[in-house]
Amino acid sequence: QVQMVESGGGSVQAGGSLRLPCAASGRTFSLYAGGWFRQAPGKDREFVASIDWGGGKTYYADSVKDRFTISRDNAKNTVYLQMNSLKPEDTAVYYCTAHRGIDRVRNGIPGGYWGQGTQVTVYS
């Protein structure tokens, strides 16, 4: 089992920045790829970003590319999502996830681990 806890959510004005940490515990987190999804009210959960176990490979959704950066610190068992130039359409609950492989994270393959989510609200 891998337990994951997100933090860092909040309200921010459009154009601002937030950093979301996700702390993992349990099995050796460094063996897992990590990632972030989000779900806005009335919409399906959507992929945001993923990172492989070593941090050398990343994927991003087109909607966040060049604005968001995913990173990880395996010594701290933590995955981060740095969000810059935030827009009102980024408003959602953000969930972190871990799975055996970056592609499994990106495609939301069942069997991964999920946090409870943290709310991000961007106001204009």
pLDDT tens per residue, range 50-109? 999 998 999 999 999 999 999 999 999 999 999 999 999 999 999 999 999 999 999 999
Confidence of residue 26 (pLDDT cuts 50, 70, 90): confident
H or E element, residue 106: helix 102-106
- Choice between 31 and 115, residue whose per-residue pLDDT is larger: 115
Confidence of residue 2 (pLDDT cuts 50, 70, 90): confident
* Residue 29, pLDDT score: 81
Spell out the alpha helix ranges (H) of 26-92.
none
- Choice between 31 and 27, residue whose per-residue pLDDT is larger: 31
